[in-house]
Amino acid sequence: MEEKIRRRKYYLGNRELLIIAILSGIGGVMSTYIGYLGNLLNRLFGVPFGAGQFVSGLHVFWFILAAGLIRKPGAATVAGLLKGIIELLTGSTHGVAIILVSFTQGLLVDAVLLVFRRHNLVSYALAGGVAAASNVFVFQLLYFSHAPIAYILFIGLLAFVSGVLLAGSLGHSVLEIILQARPFRSSIAEEEMAAATAATGTRAKTRPSVKIAITGVLMALLAMGAVYYYAVIYEPPWTGPRCQVEGAVANPLSFQLSYFEQHETTITAELIGQVSHIPPQEYTGIPLKIIIAEARPLDGAQKLRVMASDGYEVEFDLPKVLNDDQMVLIKENDMLRLIAGNYEGGHWVKLVNRMVVE
């Protein structure tokens, strides 16, 4: 009997694995949209990256739900691993590294809850904050080894606050609503709530309707934003990278790089960013000036906006672009990337899908 109880406490059953699969699937798909929101924040604050950490807690939100519904060690870790794999398969710009990032976040959620040995607002908030901040340091180890420590600590703090609010606090509120509705509650959660009721001699208080309404509105807004993103903006990686040139042009374009293959050239460029550096190396692609010239900009056009499918955007002076031999559009990992050799790293745009002449 003791062995059976122990197995129930530590081993994941079929129903619990199904819950993890559902949450990981939704979280993996939503993470692409959350990355888009992050880039919108970068544009709002006028920085190439960093401000997006304000929404990083939403990546961890799903692990809090998994841990809170199942109440068994390892639930968030398994959810993190599966979510990372789904993100990779749905076209994450981070490549295989996203699996490590997501796995680490889930592992940290489990670790914090194991130390606390309680599932409450405080433990969820701390777990969410630590897990959300971990992405900054994992990416630092993988990509940004030369970043100033003060900058890393600052955006790590932003991520921690986001994790506390959007993963821990929001996750706790959503869990209360779900557990009251009783659709997915695991046997462990049922036993813990029954024990709490027996100890106090009272039923758990119903949460204020205002809190439920606020949580519902926030979740609805996120859902509607995701629907709009996937219906209007998102381009599946399996369709092949395409780009549009529009705006003040006589010949709007919708093309793949193969259309300009006769103009393919190789340049040598060095990426010098605020927190990253890539030594000089060769890049083979299509000169941007050739593509824009094919679209035939109208008289008086002065600007070129280059936009990515994840919401990132940079602006160039059009006359300079038309005379720049160090700007090429390349195909890299099934996406289009702008190499801007004469500009700092923030102007090297990944996931290019649209260019607007103004």
SS3 state at 334: coil
Q: For residue 100, how far is the Cα from the chain centroid?
A: 14
* CA-atom Rg of the chain in angstroms: 24
> Is this prediction's pTM over 0.85?
no
pLDDT digits (tens, 9 = 90+) for 53-86: 888 999 999 999 999 999 898 999 999 999 999 9
Distances (CA, A) of 36 to 204, 226, 279: 38, 10, 28
Query: What token pair was written down for 218?
Result: 């926030």
pLDDT digits (tens, 9 = 90+) for 203-262: 444 445 777 788 888 888 888 888 887 777 776 666 668 899 999 999 999 888 888 989
Query: What token pair was written down for 68?
Result: 């809170």
| CA neighbor of 133 nearest in space, from 108, 150, 110 | 108
Looking up tokens 């904050």 gives: 129
pLDDT digits (tens, 9 = 90+) for 11-50: 788 889 999 999 999 998 888 888 778 777 766 666 555 6
What is the model's pLDDT at position 222?
85
Q: If 0-12 CB within 10 Å is exposed, 13-18 middle and 19+ buried, where does residue 10 land? A: exposed
Confidence at 271, pLDDT banded by 50, 70, 90: confident
- C-alpha dihedral (20, 24, 25, 27), degrees to nearest 10: 140
- pLDDT for 186 beyond 80: no
What is the model's pLDDT at position 45?
67
